[in-house]
Each structure stands twice: as structure tokens, then as C-alpha cells.
Structure 1
Amino acid sequence: MRKIRNTRLRLCVALGCALVAAFAAAGVPARAADPAPYRANDGGGFRNILPPGQNGVAPAPALAQFLLACPPNGPQGCPNAPRPPHYDDQLAMYGDLVYAVPGLTAGQLDRFFKDASFGVPAGEAERIYSPRPDVTIVRDRRFGVPRVYGRTREAALFGLGYVAAEDRLFVMDVLRHAGRAQLSSFVGGSLGNRELDREQWRIAPYTEADLERQFELGDDLYGDAGRRLQEDARAYVAGINAYIDEARLDPARKLPAEYLAIGRPLGPDPWKVTDLIATASLIGGIFGKGGGGELQSALLLQEAQRRFGNRRGRAVWHDLREADDPEAPVTVEGRRFPYQTEPRKLAPDSLALPDPGSVRFVDVVAGESGSSGSQPPGPPSLPGLPLSTPKAGRGDVGSRLLDLLRRQRPGSNALLVSARESESGRPLAVMGPQTAYFVPNLLHEIEVHGPGLEARGAAFAGVGLYVLLGRGRDYAWSATSAGQDIIDTFALPLCEPDGSQPTLASDHYLYRGRCLPFEVLERHNSWTPNLADQTPAGSETLRTLRTKLGLVIARATIGGRPVVYTQLRSTYFHEVDSALGFDALNDPGRIRSPRDFMAAVSKIGFTFNWFYIDHRHIAYFNSGNNPVRAPGVSPDLPTDGRFEWRDWNPELWTARYTPMREHPQVVDQAFLANWNNKQARGYRAADDNFAYGSIYRSDLLSDRIRALLAGRRKANLVELVSAMEDAGTVDLRGAKVLPYLLRVIGTPRDPELRRAVAILRSWVRSGAHRIDRNRDRIYEDAEAVRIMDAWWPRLLHAIFEPVLGERLFRQLEAIRDPDDEPNAAGQHRGSAYNGGWYHYVEKDLRTLLGRRGTRGLRPPPAAPARYSRTYCGGTASRGGTLGRCRDRLLDSLEAALAVPNAELYGNDPVCPRYGLAGDQWCFDAVWHRPFGAISEPLIHWINRPTFQQVVEVERPAPR
């Protein structure tokens, strides 16, 4: 008996008591899960790439080896420094494609994309192991991608949790704490970490009970499907915890060294199902929402009316808003999908505009003590470890994630060609998400085989119950951020429970005739110095008020009456419900056609554009819980709280959503191109999106695909890859705006200006690329790039500030950044030219030039698409003229030529770490932002998906 007990004890230590208990309860020994042969149930024709590498765990011995070769006080990147296996073996493949285009051949594709077939070829397995008997994991020798085989569905999910922790444990831990607004408590109190906590507490504050309730409501709201999600989540979490137990027993091989640096030598706390929900709230808040800008838009309108008068001010605001520009590039052609159509007449009393000057936005920081975020004197923090260096708080992981959350720069692109337009007669796809660049990546690759699960692709760390973007047996799917409006701003009157006169400080609000107290949500964070972050000890309390109609964002008066403004997001309190769609996508029995695909992704509440390919078809569908608004409300401005969403239930946080047929969708259009552009005609831009104008970066893709298909030509896969990569080095300003700027300027008399214009014209003729073709770290058109970089902000001021005035100009800047340059304020995120003011300049100059002036270029806009006035060369009281516009542009160009390189490229925080301070190439270069202490070499700037699939399905697979 004692011998049996000792055996059980050893098993509990080695595998985790919970795991042993699970098998004991089953009463029978688990059967082994046999790996399938290479390409079993595989339609063929799948490739992908996910830099820098599969492995994201560097235990202390591996980190020590790297730091010996790449010391913290030396240049970073260190290409020859030793790294753990598969840490960056996809980085060069990804980065070098830029040098192969043009000229890429079919035989070269496998140099830049890896085989994404199911299974591992014979003799190519690096490891075959079983974290428990009914789970088998096979990793290939070349890239270390895990193939998880589960005898049961529960076993497969357990295996997915295990490999997620094996490849991304520390990243997962960062994300679950960030999702709870507890990053500063976890890794340290640097300003960037505290700012991320604050931002997350503004948009997705939840108590632990809230997170638990979301999980428990799964089966109540969705029946058997919800119950399956709950079971899957429990199994996934069990797999994570099994790895954590092993890592604690074998930290030298399995525990990420970052835990030592942040003073947590025992590693992470056990995982809970609520961690999945917290992580999903962060990921969804970055990539899967749109709207909520009604109050800022109202303030912009009021300032425009103050400057121009009511009628003309509204017209200027309408110009800037670009809600439904007839010229905007769209993905679905020839069909309208009306959403948020402006009513002919507003419902009486539905508009809730604040009294001018009365708005006070809420500060979520309710109290703080200790550190103010400054760094003490002393030794520098380890480079790239989660927190700040003495010189720059932006070096911390909080700042890096905050850049994505705040700037709301959605990424991702997709190029698909239908079977009838393909040389092979099979559809083609090159597609993927732009999720910025980190090391380890936010995404990790998985392959799963189990009952109802057969897929391979990418998942976000910590929420990888299913492949989120990838392939099934004979189909593949991907997504881009859509950002349509699922967040609205409401005004609720303040009140006093005793009936007395309310004030702006009142702590009750009026809802459905009742005076209710605000629900106070608080998060208390505290931190002490650690090796990674030496910020002095301190603490901070965050507070958000919740109402029955969303989260309080501001207080103001309307007609002298005090109100609060709230934001209501349709996916709030439903952060993981979208898993219903991903569950379906991973099931070969449920995906047999484009219609099945659309039915699956229609269950995803977050706002995404979804793309599908099989051996015969391509398809597109826009997902999102689009709420059905009350009739007659403004789609752009705040709404009175009495005009709720249809069927709004404040207890379940549910409403009526627009039906599937009203979402933009299409099957087998000649081609599909999307780079986060407008989905379809009539599908109104979200109220926080002022960028869906006459041009968009998706034009760079569409132009190239149209050229491939011109006349009777048909496209092949290599050409589609080349089109994507070629578009990825283009400066949108140079390609789509500069031709009109140069047409307005003509040939200057001044020799210096004339020389600059000649340089810019040559750049336009060569395609306006920011590219170094011979690897000397000097752009081929370096001088043209330098002129454009210096000129752009100055020409915007020259065109718009004399008309808008400084205040309105600054307000518009706060809503929509004038430029989305590759450097991204020092973040080097790759994704660029998404939004900006490019369309404002292009349309205004086309209007000024007229038909004669635009000969050989795009003609001026027709009446429905034209702005209410011309801006360049104008003032507040008169429209612009071509002559005055030319003078202002020449003055701004002259000023740009005097800007020194040091001013343009010298303030970057990253390049000095690589010994490239002030370097133009480095200023643009893609930087894989470290979660830990291992840095990667910079790669050439490229505007391209982070994870990318290249697909031409060869044949149907058996079902």
C-alpha cells in the first residue's frame, strides 16, 4: 500500500495532481494518440510564415549565453549571438523577400515561406512526446511547429494549452495581466505599464466576478455550443497548468528567465479560465472594435461652427468626417450594404450635444503614491526586458502594447484571385494579419488533430483554444481589422436620490425613470523595483464608473443640465463569445463551402473582414455585433440615453444585432483586395474613422491585381506574392498624392526648388518606393524620401491651417494622425499609411486642378464626392485658388529643404541601440519589440502581414 502511495506522490510531482486525478476518475487507462502521416486529409498547396520563430521561451542558461555574446551595454540585435532553437529561424526568410521582388520565381517561394501541410514528413520529426498518455505532440526538425494529436477532444485542447505555455508562457502571462489592467503590479511600475493599465481600465474594466460570470453564461446563452466552449476552455487551461508544474520542477530548461528578472523565481501563478477572458478583452480591444468617437466628433463640429458659422461649419465638418465618400476604395464591388445610414430627420430630442466648453473627460486614476515613473540613477535595466530603460519609458512592454491599443492602427491585408482569373484554374490567396512585430511574437503557430478539430495556423498567445487564422483540410481563412461602428456614446442625466438638484459631481444617474448609483469598478496596483524595472516602489488606484448603458467617459452639461457621457460596446461582457465562430472554422465537418464559412464567421462579434479560399472558390464576409439603433438617431454624434439599442438587456449586456444578410459579403468576385479599407458602398465609416476618403492604401494592392488581370491576362501565385511585396515598400504619399502636388507646383524658377521637384518626379516615375535593393542600407531614392518626409507635415499646415485655424487643425490631428509613417513614433511597427490625411490633400488638389489640370491623372471628383469648398490657398472666409495654393506649397517645400537629417531621423529611440543613430534606413526598419532580453536584428521596412499564408488549394480532401 505504501509503495502505491509513493508512486502516486511521484506522479503528482512530475505531472501535477490535477492531471493524475483526471485520469484516475476516468477509471481506464488513456489510449495513445497516434500521429497521422504527412499530408493526411490535406488538400495541398499551403504555405505560411510567422517571424521571428516558433520558440518564445528562453530559460536562464540560454539567456546567459545570449547576453555573453550580446551584452546589455553594446549594440543590440547581434545576429551571431546564440539563441534558443527555433527562436528566430523564420526571421531571415520573412525579411529577405523584399530583395527578391521583382524577379521572384516559383522555385524560390519555399525560400521565403514554409510548408504548411498537415503532419511532418518521414524522418523530419525533431521531438515526439506526450505530456499525458492520450496526447501526442510532434515538432518538426526545421521550424519546431507543434502538431497536437488528441485521442479525445478534451485531450487535444489539453495539448493546445500545453504547447501554448511551452512556446509563449511569459508572453501569455503579460497579456493576462494587461487584460486585467494589472501589468504594473506584475512586471513593474514604469510609466508605460501604468499607462497601459489605465487605458485597459477605461475600455474593458472587469471585476473577477464579472470575468467568471462571462464564462458561466456560455451555456445559458448558447446552449450545447456554449457548453462545449466551457469544456474546451477548462481542458486548455489544464494543459497550461501541466506545463507550469513541469517548469517549476525543471526551471533551467522550461521556465522563462524573465520571471527571475521581475522577482518571481517560482514562475507564474496557476492559470484560470478567467485569464482567457481577460486576454481576449485586450486582444479584441486592439484589433476588433470601432466607433466610440461621437463626443470627440461633436467637439470638432462645435469648433468648426464657431469658426465658420453653423451651416458652413457643419459642411466643413462633413468634409473632414468622410463618413460615406462615394470615391472611397471598397472591397465588395457593385453592391450596397447600408449600415448606419444618416436619417433624413433626427428623432426629436435624440441628439445629445454638450454645451460648448462644458465637457470634462474622466481620469481613471483615482489615487497614486510613490513613484511618478522617473528612473533612478544607477545601472541600466536589461535591454528589452519588460520595462523601461533609464533613457526611455517607451522601451517597456506596456508602451509597446499601448501603441497598438491607443493609436488604433489596424493592420492586415488580403489579396485573393478567383478561379476564373487564375492561370491554373484554381483560386489564389496571399493573406494575413498585421499584428506588429514582437519577439516572441504575439501569435504562435499550432496544428491540431482531434474530434471536431483539424486545422493549422496562428493563434494569439493565451487564447489559442482554436486556430484563429489558418487552414483546414482543403480551405484556408484569414482576417483584417474592419473597425465598423459597434461602440456608441450616450448621454445620461445626473440625479440625486432625494430629488434635489443634481450637479456635475452627483454620483447617481437617471435610467429608465430610476435614479441609480454608479457601479464603481476599482483596480489597485502596486510595485517594487526589480532587475527588469527599477522604478521606485509605488501604487495606483484606477476607477471607472459603470452604468446600465456603458462606461462613463466624461461629464458635461446639456442645456445647463448635468449629464454623464457613456460608451457602450456591443462586445463588452462578451469577450470570448466569438470563440463560437473559431470552433466552427476548425471543424472540417462544418466547413464545406463559402456559405459554411460565412455562417461560421458571422458568429464572431468582433469587427473583422474575413477571407476564404478552397479549391474552387474565394469569399468575403464582414463580422461584428452591429447593434440595431433606435430609428432617427445620429450615426456620428452622441445620443440621448432614452434612445437605446433595440432589445437592449442591461443585465445580460445583449441587444438585437443586424442580421447576417446585411453584412458586406461576396463569393467569387473576380478578385478581392483589402488593407483595412471601406468594406462596401453604403457601409458607413465608424464615427472614430475619418480616413475612408478618395484614396486608401488598399489602392496599392488593387492597382497591381488589376494590372495582372488586364485584358485577357490571368494571374499566378508568384505574381500575387510579388504584387503584395511590391506594394509593401511604396510610400502612399509619393504614389497617390505627390503627382498632384507636383502638377500644382509645375516647374519652379528657383534652382534649388527645381532640383527638388526633379528628384521627386523621378521618384514618382520609379514607383515611389522606400527600398534598398542592394543591401547597403541606403534607399535607392534616399533624397526623394528625405524631401517627402520633411515636406509632408509642412504642406499640411500650408494647405489646411489657414482655413481651419490652429484650434480646429489641432483637434483634427487628435482624431486622425496626419501621417502614419513607418517609424510610428519610434515603434517601428511595419504597418504604415493606414489613414492619415492623404485623401484630404489628394481630393482638394484634384478639385483645384480641374479636368485640364488632372489630364493623365485621376479626374476631379464629381459633385456628390466633392468637398464643400477648396482648402489649399484659401482662408476661413474664401475658397482656395490654384495660384495661392502653388505659392503656399512652394514656401512649404522651401522650408522642408532646410530641415537637417538630424531633425528628421535623429530622435528615434531604437536606432542608437543598434549603432545607427540618425540613419534613414534604420528609422523605417522593422524592429521586433522584445518581451524579454533577447533582441533581434532589424529588417528592411516592409508594410506586410506579420503572419502570412500563401495558398493555392490543389484538390478537395475527404470528409
Structure 2
Amino acid sequence: MPSRRRGGSRRVRLRRREGRPPPECRGGRPSGTLRAVHRPAAAVAVTLAAALAFALVPGEAAPPKRDFAAAAFTILPPGENGALTFDRHTTDQAKLYDALTPLRGNVTARDIRRLFKPAPLGLSTNKGSKGEHPRAGVTVVRDRFDVAHVSGKTQAAVAFGAGWVTAADRGLLLQLIRGPARIAALDVPGLDPLGLALSGKTFVPSAETEAFLANQIDALRAQGADGKKALAIINGYAAGINAWYAARRIPVARFTGNDVVAAAALIAARFGANGGQEVANSMFLDALQKRLGGADARSVFADLRESNDAETPVTVPGSFPYELPTDETPGSVVIDDGSFVGNPPAQPTFASNALLVGAKRSKTGHPLFVAGPQVGYFFPQFFAEMDLSGGGFATRGAVFPGVPFVVIGRGPDFAWSATSSQADNTDLFVETLCGGDDRHYEYRGQCLPMERFFAGTLKSAGSPDEQVAFLETTHGPVIGYATVKGKKVAISVQRSTRGREILSFKPFYELNTGQVTSARQFLATMGGVEFGFNWFYADDRDIAFFSSGRLPIRAPGTDPALPTLGNGDYDWRSYLLYVGHARGVDPKSGVILNWNNKPAANVGAADSNFSYGPVQRVNLLSAALAGGKKQTLATVVSAMNQAATQDLRVMRVWPIIREVLDTGPAPSARAEAAAGLVDDWRAAGGSRIDGDLDGKVDAPGAAVLDAAWPGISHAIFAPVLGPLVPRLAALMGESEDANSGGSSYESGWYGYIDKDLRTLLGKQVRDPFSRRYCGAGALQTCRESLWESIDAAAASLEVSQGPAPSTWRSDATAERIRFTSGVLQDTMRWTNRPTFQQVMSFSGHRGG
């Protein structure tokens, strides 16, 4: 079957000496660890299959500007080829990615060269090397991992080339997300954009939707010279996409600026928005009040929220007060338990991490940068990788289909990355109904009609068309209805970035065109990003961090965890200024570490985040880099990779559980033996690795803790919460265990258990809970309930796996990473690691 680019022509391999991995990584399968079975392409979007083929034509790559990287590597599984016509670049990077996992904390410099791909700026080619010229002034050359190196004479030309490559490498995904991205831009209630993209349904937008998106293009035009530059890039990018399809005579609707706006909105709404859980929180509080009474319910709710726990790990020093709870909250509403009917906003998952080591902690005297976002494992992968040069562009990294910039990557002498910050930029408002129906609401003393927004039509083969429409108040889309003290109300959602996502273009323009020249300038630049992300930077001298977002300043008298009264008295007052955002450069610790944990002290947790307690998975990274020793890229990658296979529960929570257990005898020899297996597992590093690929986690202790954890978790809270324990689990599960999606241990009851048991044992605790939960404060009762959970788990394992504890195993096959879509059936060992990852260090700087 012909390739997507070459029309069946022979591939020309471009040779490079710099950073070339050894032969075992040149197309072959390292260690034989990747399991591959390919399904027929007809499984999804078959009509797009013919779209993905083009031929290389003679040309030359533009010479790169000076590259100051001492080391520059990246990885993006499964591979650069996102087409339905498979070739070796469909899964070549998945093989490398998977081969790193079993090395755990023993990664060497050679392993980095072997299991990542070189990521220089530009591509030096010998005379006679071949590329293609999509149009005059644009050249595209492919390296041996099929990453496109795009060069152009002007910024619009480079953008054209980026659009051309996007259509070639992610044409299938580009079409699949085109409609769903508009759903994301509108915040359509009840529709998940990513789920819709994989559903086989087609969304046909209305004129009203297109006008909504076009408003952002108009806003760009109003920004003078900056807006003009942005529009030239957007138009060039769309033209490149259209040219690729036209060259292949593929009948698709022309891409426009609206498609770029929608793609930016998908990033903002899916990965850069947080909050919107207030109704569920409120109904849980109502249930607590019915069980415990008003005052006790409030204190228990505050315990579980952990909105500003002094023990939670932070990324940078300093205090940046934001969204802290207040005492009197007349502007917040308690919803009647069980009364909500509707579609609450979907909650994103978080799995990005960053390990930055400063110059003083580095053996080379230059910062070390190992970082990347976790956007899930998909085929086609959401990101593509590109190198863009010319017209001022000097960048390489991850490009999101539909967006004409590298969003995470590197420049000539710096690298940057991001993690989701969980900053609360989405609120739910309670609208008081009026006018005798469900379509009018009270606002600032008036009875106003809700406006109907007709978004478009969902089409599916063999099914009738579905009209997509929703009601809006002044705050935003109406997501449902509930009751407050028996009276019916409407619930609307307000996201701070809705309708203005494209206005964050300027920081990315500056990053892509080399206008960022220092850590301090990086902070100022990222202050212009309105999406809720943590940003990380390293050059040859400094490391830096900035937590961005258009973060609302809420009205006094409101609780950020609860819905807000929507009568106009408690609307958002303004937005957090630059000086209020968590940030830092070269902290005294010498490291900047983040795994979606709290950015800095006194940054309040979003209403959807109950996990900012004393135990966070970033603790695993901190432990691996503790001690003040000088680091290398290999030791930092080792720290990341070791943590990526560890079970947070056994490493950070089991020790305090064991201390409680040791205050009295085990109920049986079986229970004592089971606990001993968990001890042994922790002593060996707590890894969930399947080293021999037999489909089972190697350590029997994993089977014990997996079976015992639900019982342990419930034993802690049952004395106080009773039948409401499952309700807490609905807000935040007991544990986010290892799974086929990779991301794990971001949230769970880890901190609850740790803090409560330390309190019970009389240990020092900052910000203690209002009461003791396990055993209702009685050590013996608590201990017995924990032992009972372990004994019950052991009994269950005896029945299911036999009487010999040494043979008990958890299922590693169920945890293997799978690429969502169902087309690509390759799997990888479970690892808790970024999808796109950079390993970087710089030894020089522009201007000396």
C-alpha cells in the first residue's frame, strides 16, 4: 500500500551523524517489548484513508541558525505517522518509549541516546538530499523518524508548510476533531468533544456557531500589528492545509481561521479548564448536614476539601494567595441532595510532569530539563512534532492539529513545557427562575429570558439527525436544573476563557520566533496565556516556573467549592493580575518539580480538586532527587522513569498504615504474611513492572495492596461518614490506580489516610483534621479494622489464586497502555509518564 506522502515512491533516508542512536534502535524492536496487532483501517474514518499519500520532490532544507543545545532529545509515541496506511513510523517511537520503562531508575546516558530521538533545530542535509516544496519559498525535509523540518522565507510561508505537514501527518485527526472542537468552544452541555470525535458521528455547525468563532478573528483584527501578524500566520496555515487536500483532490470543506479558533478552544476547554464540580460538592454537603448536622458537616467537608493544606507539596517557594475559603458565604448555595438533573461539565485528567534541575545542582553547571505533557495515548496521537525555521521562526516541538505554533518545545537556547495547573477558571451559577416557566431567570432585579443557541446538527449513518441546541444565561450555557430548599432553579456554567481562546496567541508567537531570551522574560511572556497551565523553562543559566490563567476574582461572601447565587450580586469581580500568579526563578532548592501538584503556598484548590493533601505523586520525584547531589540528564531521567513505575500507595502511604498495624497483633498468620509481602514490595522499590512479560506484576505485594486498598480506605472513613463513603468516592476515588491510559495516582485518598493515621499515632501534623476518622479516634478499633481489611484481601486471594502467598499476582495485562481509537492494537507496559517528552540541556546563549 502506498505511503501517505510518497505515492509509493521509494523512501530516501536522510543521514545525520549528530546524536545518531546505535543500530539496535534503527527501525527494529528494542527488547521485543511492544506487542503489535494491527486491525484493518476500515475500523474508523475509512473515507479518509485515500487522503493520506504524497511524494517527496527534490529540494534543500534551509540551514538552521546556531543551536545552543548540549543535549536535545524527544519522544512521542506511537510515531509520527498518523495515517491509516501504516509504515515503520506508525510505531517506531512506541518501541523506544516502551523499552525505557523496565530500566526503572537505572537509565544511562547511552540509554537516552538509544531510547529517545535527537531533536536538533533545523536539519543539516548533504547535497542531493531530497525534500518537497509545497509552494515556492517553502521546503519540507523529513528526518529518519519522519519528523518534518519546515523552512520558509517568510512567517506566512513557514505557517503554510506547517499546515501542509499537519494535513499529511494528522489529516485523519484533523478531520475527526474539526466538529468536536466547535463543541468545546461553545461548552455545549452533555457532549464530550473527545468522545464525539471517536463516536463516528459528524457535527455540522450552524451559522450561529461560525459567527461565534468568527468573533475571535474580529478581536484579533482589532489588535493592530500583533493581530495582523497572527492573522497572516493563521491564513497561511489554513492555506497549507487546503493546498495539501487540493493536491490530492480530496473533497473536504476548506479550512479557515474559524478552524484554528476551534482547535485553540479544544486545548483551552479540554486541558486548560478546571472546576465546575460545585453542584456535586453542594449535594454532598447537604447529605453531610442531614447526617451530622450543620456545623459538623461543614468542618468535615472542609477536611475533605483540603483546599489549603499546609502539608501539601508545592512547586516553588513563596506565598500567592488565591481562592481561599471564607467564613460567611451568603453568596453560595447548597443544592438539595439528589435534585440535580442535567449534564455537569466533564472533569479532565492530569498526568504531566516536569523535572528541572538548576545550574548549581547540575554536574555540567548548566540546567537540566526533563519534562512533558500527558495528553493520553491515541492513534493518531494528538500532537505531531515539527521543526519550524525561517521568517523569524526558530523552534521545534509538539504541534496540536489546527494550531499554527509549536505549543511545547524548544528554541535556539531554551526549552519550555507545561502541566495542567488545575487552576479554577470555571464556576457554576444558580439562577432563580421567574416568569412562570423554566426559561426565565432573575438578574439584577429583572426577569430575563434565557437565550437559545442552535449549535448545529449531529449526523450518523443509519440514524436520524440530532439537533444540538442549548439555553444560555448571562453567565453561560444552562447545564441543568435542581432544587434549593424545594424550589426549582437553573444551573449555568461560566468559563473564563470561553469566546477568547485565540487571544493567547501572542506568547506562543514570541516563543516560536525566539523573542524569549531569559527566564524573567519567559515569566512575563507566559503571563499572557489565559489557559490554566503551569509553564516550565530552562536555558543554559536558569530554570523558571509560571502558573498561568485568566483566573476570576470571586465576590466576597462566596465559597469557591459551592455554586454561586446568580442574581448579579456575586458575579466575578475581576481577574488575577500577573503579580498574583505563582512563579519563580532558580529556587534555593535547585530544583523545580511538578506533577500536577499545588503550584505554591496559599493557592487554593479548585472546587473539582480534593487531592491537595500531604501525599502527592510529586513526592516520588522529590525522593529520587533528594540529598543535594549533583545531577546529570541520566540521573534526572532515571528519577522520572523510576517514579513512572512506582505505586504511590506503597511508597508513601503504606509506612504509616504499617505503623498502626504494628501497635497490635495480626488476627492471623495469613494476614501477617500478606502484610509482609507489601513490606517486601516497598523495600524493593514499589514498582508495578512486569519484567518478564508474563502478563503479571512481578511483586506479590502488589496483589495484596490492590485487594486490600478499598477496604482500608473505607475503614478509615466509615466511622464518621457511614453510608456516605461511596458519595465521597464519587467526588474523588479512593485511588487512581495503574491503568491502560497510563496516568495514575494523581488523586486519591492517599493524603486523607496519611494525615488521619499520623494524627491517631500522635505524630506532628500541620493543619490537622477537625476530628479523627479511623476508628472514630480509637487506635485499637482503627488497627483492627485495618487488619481486617488485609486479612479479607488475603482470604480473597487464597480463593482466587491459591494458598501460597508467593504466587499471588496482579494482572499486568489489564494495565498495559492501549492507544485509543481501536485502529492500532499495539500495547506498551504501563508507565506513568508524559506522552511527549523532552530531555534537554543548553551550554550557550544568544548574545554570549
Scaled to the shorter chain, the TM-score interval is 0.7 to 0.9
The AA in structure 2 aligned to 1:866 is P
Residue deviations 1:287-341 (CA, integer Å, cap 9, x gap): 11112222222212111111111111111111111100010110012x1000012
> Is 1:432 aligned to residue 323 of structure 2?
no
Equivalent of residue 666 in structure 2, options 748, 752, 757:
748
SS in 2 for 1:342: coil
Q: Which residue of structure 2 aligns with residue 311 of structure 1?
A: 295
The AA in structure 2 aligned to 1:228 is K
Equivalent of residue 278 in structure 1, options 240, 262, 267:
262
Kept in 2, the 8 Å contact 1:237–1:272? The answer is yes
> Is 1:341 aligned to residue 280 of structure 2?
no
> Is 1:834 aligned to residue 746 of structure 2?
yes
Residue deviations 1:113-171 (CA, integer Å, cap 9, x gap): 1111112243499741110011111111x201111111111111111111001100011
> Is 1:495 aligned to residue 399 of structure 2?
no
The AA in structure 1 aligned to 2:825 is S
Q: Which residue of structure 2 aligns with residue 538 of structure 1?
A: 464
Q: Which residue of structure 2 aligns with residue 785 of structure 1?
A: 702
Q: Which residue of structure 2 aligns with residue 736 of structure 1?
A: 652
Aligned partners of 2:328 and 2:621: how far apart in 1? Answer: 39
Query: What is the CA-CA distance between 1:511 and the residue it aligns to?
Result: 2.1
Q: Which residue of structure 2 aligns with residue 935 of structure 1?
A: 825
Aligned partners of 2:92 and 2:100: how far apart in 1? Answer: 14
Q: Any stretches of 5+ residues in structure 1 without a counterpart?
A: 1-31, 63-82, 184-188, 249-265, 365-404, 497-501, 530-535, 649-654, 852-859, 874-878, 905-917
> Is 1:626 aligned to residue 551 of structure 2?
yes
Equivalent of residue 771 in structure 2, options 869, 872, 878:
869
Residue deviations 1:405-444 (CA, integer Å, cap 9, x gap): 9452112000011111111110111100011111221110
Kept in 2, the 8 Å contact 1:301–1:317? The answer is yes
Are the structure 2 counterparts of residues 940 and 559 from structure 1 closer, same or farther at C-alpha, using a change threshold of 3 Å?
closer
Are the structure 2 counterparts of residues 200 and 316 from structure 1 closer, same or farther at C-alpha, using a change threshold of 3 Å?
farther
Query: What are the equivalent positions in structure 2 for 1:46-61 lying under 5 Å apart?
Result: 46-58=72-84
Q: Which residue of structure 1 aligns with residue 6 of structure 2?
A: none
CA RMSD of the aligned region, Å?
3.0
> Is 1:453 aligned to residue 393 of structure 2?
yes
Equivalent of residue 360 in structure 1, options 340, 346, 361:
340
Q: Which residue of structure 1 aligns with residue 62 of structure 2?
A: 36
Kept in 2, the 8 Å contact 1:126–1:144? The answer is no
Aligned partners of 2:642 and 2:340: how far apart in 1? Answer: 46
The AA in structure 1 aligned to 2:547 is N
Equivalent of residue 712 in structure 2, options 791, 795, 798:
795
Residue deviations 1:333-389 (CA, integer Å, cap 9, x gap): 2x100001233544xx423333x358333359xxxxxxxxxxxxxxxxxxxxxxxxx
Are the structure 2 counterparts of residues 723 and 296 from structure 1 closer, same or farther at C-alpha, using a change threshold of 3 Å?
same
Aligned partners of 2:610 and 2:129: how far apart in 1? Answer: 50
The AA in structure 2 aligned to 1:429 is F
Equivalent of residue 618 in structure 2, options 673, 676, 698:
698
Aligned partners of 1:716 and 1:124: how far apart in 2? Answer: 36
Equivalent of residue 783 in structure 2, options 886, 889, 901:
886
Are the structure 2 counterparts of residues 197 and 555 from structure 1 closer, same or farther at C-alpha, using a change threshold of 3 Å?
farther
Kept in 2, the 8 Å contact 1:340–1:635? The answer is yes
The AA in structure 1 aligned to 2:123 is V
The AA in structure 2 aligned to 1:314 is R
Kept in 2, the 8 Å contact 1:358–1:557? The answer is no
Q: Which residue of structure 1 aligns with residue 725 of structure 2?
A: 809
> Is 1:422 aligned to residue 362 of structure 2?
yes
Are the structure 2 counterparts of residues 196 and 565 from structure 1 closer, same or farther at C-alpha, using a change threshold of 3 Å?
farther
Are the structure 2 counterparts of residues 570 and 479 from structure 1 closer, same or farther at C-alpha, using a change threshold of 3 Å?
same
SS in 1 for 2:626: helix
SS in 1 for 2:796: coil
Query: What is the CA-CA distance between 1:902 and the residue it aligns to?
Result: 11
SS in 1 for 2:333: coil
Q: Which residue of structure 2 aligns with residue 470 of structure 1?
A: 409
Q: Which residue of structure 1 aligns with residue 448 of structure 2?
A: 516
Are the structure 2 counterparts of residues 901 and 641 from structure 1 closer, same or farther at C-alpha, using a change threshold of 3 Å?
farther
Q: Which residue of structure 1 aligns with residue 89 of structure 2?
A: 86
Are the structure 2 counterparts of residues 552 and 421 from structure 1 closer, same or farther at C-alpha, using a change threshold of 3 Å?
same
Aligned partners of 1:275 and 1:645: how far apart in 2? Answer: 35
Q: Which residue of structure 2 aligns with residue 483 of structure 1?
A: 422
Residue deviations 1:493-548 (CA, integer Å, cap 9, x gap): 2222xxxxx3xx4311222333222111234545454xxxxxx5234333321111
Aligned partners of 1:199 and 1:170: how far apart in 2? Answer: 14
The AA in structure 1 aligned to 2:597 is N
Kept in 1, the 8 Å contact 2:497–2:530? The answer is yes
The AA in structure 1 aligned to 2:752 is Y
The AA in structure 1 aligned to 2:549 is G
Kept in 1, the 8 Å contact 2:735–2:745? The answer is yes
Equivalent of residue 598 in structure 2, options 678, 682, 688:
678
Query: What is the CA-CA distance between 1:205 and the residue it aligns to?
Result: 13
Kept in 1, the 8 Å contact 2:423–2:605? The answer is yes
Are the structure 2 counterparts of residues 104 and 561 from structure 1 closer, same or farther at C-alpha, using a change threshold of 3 Å?
closer
Aligned partners of 1:415 and 1:192: how far apart in 2? Answer: 29
* TM-score of the superposed pair, with normalisation by structure 1: 0.76
The AA in structure 1 aligned to 2:836 is F
Query: What are the equivalent positions in structure 2 for 1:194-273 lying under 5 Å apart?
Result: 207-220=209-222, 222-248=223-249, 266=250, 268-273=252-257
Aligned partners of 1:679 and 1:728: how far apart in 2? Answer: 21
* TM-score of the superposed pair, with normalisation by structure 2: 0.86
Kept in 2, the 8 Å contact 1:626–1:658? The answer is yes
Q: Which residue of structure 2 aligns with residue 25 of structure 1?
A: none
Aligned partners of 2:633 and 2:251: how far apart in 1? Answer: 46
SS in 1 for 2:442: strand
Residue deviations 1:47-103 (CA, integer Å, cap 9, x gap): 111111111113xxx4xxxxxxxxxxxxxxxxxxxx324222111111111223443
Q: Which residue of structure 1 aligns with residue 11 of structure 2?
A: none
Residue deviations 1:421-473 (CA, integer Å, cap 9, x gap): 1111101111000111112211100111122321000022222x111000001
Kept in 2, the 8 Å contact 1:291–1:488? The answer is yes
Equivalent of residue 384 in structure 2, options 444, 449, 457:
444
Equivalent of residue 765 in structure 1, options 658, 683, 693:
683
SS in 1 for 2:708: helix
Aligned partners of 2:383 and 2:799: how far apart in 1? Answer: 36
The AA in structure 1 aligned to 2:538 is I
Kept in 1, the 8 Å contact 2:418–2:534? The answer is yes
SS in 2 for 1:311: helix
Residue deviations 1:611-637 (CA, integer Å, cap 9, x gap): 000000000000000122223332222
Aligned partners of 1:110 and 1:363: how far apart in 2? Answer: 48
Query: What is the CA-CA distance between 1:579 and the residue it aligns to?
Result: 1.9
Kept in 1, the 8 Å contact 2:442–2:567? The answer is no
Count of residues in Structure 1 that have an aligned counterpart in Structure 2: 773
Aligned partners of 1:200 and 1:759: how far apart in 2? Answer: 52
Aligned partners of 2:346 and 2:198: how far apart in 1? Answer: 9
Are the structure 2 counterparts of residues 196 and 494 from structure 1 closer, same or farther at C-alpha, using a change threshold of 3 Å?
farther
SS in 2 for 1:414: strand
Aligned partners of 2:266 and 2:798: how far apart in 1? Answer: 38
Aligned partners of 2:347 and 2:540: how far apart in 1? Answer: 38
Aligned partners of 2:496 and 2:674: how far apart in 1? Answer: 51
Are the structure 2 counterparts of residues 135 and 870 from structure 1 closer, same or farther at C-alpha, using a change threshold of 3 Å?
same
Query: What is the CA-CA distance between 1:274 and the residue it aligns to?
Result: 1.4
Are the structure 2 counterparts of residues 777 and 195 from structure 1 closer, same or farther at C-alpha, using a change threshold of 3 Å?
closer
Kept in 2, the 8 Å contact 1:615–1:953? The answer is yes
